[in-house]
Each structure stands twice: as structure tokens, then as C-alpha cells.
Amino acid sequence: MRQKIIAGNWKMNLDLDQGKELLIKIIDADVNTNCVSIIAPPYIHLNSFKTLLSHTNIALAAQNCHQQDSGAYTGEISVEMLKSVGVDYVILGHSERREYFHEDSISISFKVKNVITHGLRPIYCCGETLAERQDGEHFITIEAQIKQGLFHLNEMELLNCVVAYEPVWAIGTGETASPEQAQEMHNFIRKTIAQEYGEIVADNISILYGGSVKPANAKELFTCPDIDGGLIGGAALDAESFKALTDSF
């Protein structure tokens, strides 16, 4: 049975003291335990956050990793390093990584494999640009990203993945895909996976929606049959908002 998930991606926000203050407020808010709550802060927070979260049901995620375990990769961080500070999940292929750092699905696929090899869970992001949607290429784009990024995995490896659909045109813009648009794409992703791995595998993978999700629209999105939660940006930077999102199920 697939999990309901709220994953808060803090991106490049909050220094150490600010981050600790927010995390303590989230812990004190007593988030809904009927879903999996995940916090993905900047790297500098990970070690101290794991201690703060040790007696809670909130999981810890990193926002990226390198595909190699060690070496001369200045400025990068390995999965082994993340695992050593208690990380549970790693976000991979976020649209901002694809756009600003020129990552593609093939290169991200190596990261996915390495994360799984070390026993952590990837949150694999996919999404189309506004131009791709307007040109009617959104299904082609998403199909390619899913196949290139995930279809090198076996069934058990894939079942350790979480997929996050995030239309690029709805991230941080205030625009949100309608529930009908989001459900249509989530269903397409699940069917794409089913064609390769079968319906049982596809039905057990959590697919999250990301793109200006907030408490005001979360319930309508999360009641769609193929939407299993959200990868949340700005709304995750407020404790009351984050709790409200976990209460949307």
C-alpha cells in the first residue's frame, strides 16, 4: 500500500539558528501521523536536525547528492556522507537542478541508483516547462524523464522510490495545475510505470505533486486518486502551514 507523504523542501533558505527555530516549531505543532512527514533542509542543518528529530515521526531528506561515493568533486556531497548523518531520503532531479545546473535524466539516473544502493530512498522529480505544455509535448517529456531516470531499476529498487511531478510553470509562481491537470499527469505516470513493471508495482509507488501547494488547495489536490501527497516549497517554511498540509489527508 502506497504512503501518503508531505515533503518540505526548504531549498536555499534559513541559516542554522533560523532552521532550528522552525524545526522546533514544526515538532511542537504535532504533525499528523497518518502521513509521512519529511523535512529537506540545506546541508548545514542535517546533522543537528537528525538529533532533534530522533524522537519524532518526521524523516530527514537531503536536497541532492553526487553519484560517486568519494573523490575529487569539490563542493559535492556523497550518499555515504548523507547516510552518516541520518538522512532517510534524497531529492533528485528537481527542476531547479535541471534548469540551473543542467542536470538531465540520464545523469540523475546514476544518482538514483547510488541512493538506493546505500539503502536510502530517492524522491525523483519530473516535470514539463510551460512551452512544452503549450506545445502539447508534456506527456512526451514526462514519459522520457520517467524512463530515463528510473527504468534501469529492478522492481524492488523502483518500489523504494518516490516520484514527484512538478510542472515547472507552477513552481514558485503562485500558479497551480488544476486538480484535473495534476490527476491526469499522475495517472499517466502510474500507467507508464505499469507498462514496464506491471500494475501491482505501479499501484504501490507514491507519486507526489509539487507546484505552489498550500493549505488552501491541498485537500482538493490530495483527494485525487493518483496524488499521494506533495513536495512542498514555500508553504513548508511555516510550521502552522506545514502542519495544515499534513492534516489535508
Give the mean pLDDT of 161-189. Answer: 90
* Backbone angles phi and psi of 100, in degrees to 5: -85, -25
pLDDT at 73: 98
Q: In the structure, what pLDDT confidence band is assigned to residue 175 with cuts at 50, 70 and 90?
A: confident
Number of domains in the chain: 1
- Dig out the grid coordinates for 23 from the structure: 524545526
Identity of residue 145: Q
Q: Give the end-to-end CA distance of the chain in Å, rounded to a whole number.
A: 15
65, 68, 71, 73: CA torsion to nearest 10 = -40
What is the Cα–Cα distance from 215 to 135, expressed in whole angstroms? 31
pLDDT at 173: 75
pLDDT at 170: 79
**Enclosing domain of residue 43:** 5-246
Give the mean pLDDT of 9-29. Answer: 98
What is the Cα–Cα distance from 197 to 204, expressed in whole angstroms? 11
**Mean pLDDT for the chain overall:** 96
Q: In the structure, what pLDDT confidence band is assigned to residue 1 with cuts at 50, 70 and 90?
A: confident
Give the CATH number of the domain where residue 81 resides. Answer: 3.20.20.70
Give the mean pLDDT of 165-194. Answer: 90
Q: What single-letter DSSP state applies at residue 232?
A: E
What is the Cα–Cα distance from 124 to 144, expressed in whole angstroms? 13
pLDDT at 233: 94
Which residues are the active-site residues?
Answer: 94, 166
Q: Above 90 in pLDDT, residue 15?
A: yes
What is the Cα–Cα distance from 101 to 174, expressed in whole angstroms? 23
Give the mean pLDDT of 80-102. Answer: 97
Helix spans in 58-171 (H): 79-84, 95-100, 105-117, 130-134, 138-150, 155-158
What is the Cα–Cα distance from 52 to 40, expressed in whole angstroms? 14
Q: What is the tally of helices (H) and strands (E) in the chain?
A: 12, 8
pLDDT at 84: 97
pLDDT at 61: 98
Give the mean pLDDT of 12-40. Answer: 97
Per-residue pLDDT reduced to its tens digit, 208-224 = 999 889 999 999 999 99
SS3 state at 14:
coil
pLDDT at 3: 96
Label residue 177 left, alpha or beta by phi (over 0 means left) and psi (-120 to 50 means alpha).
beta
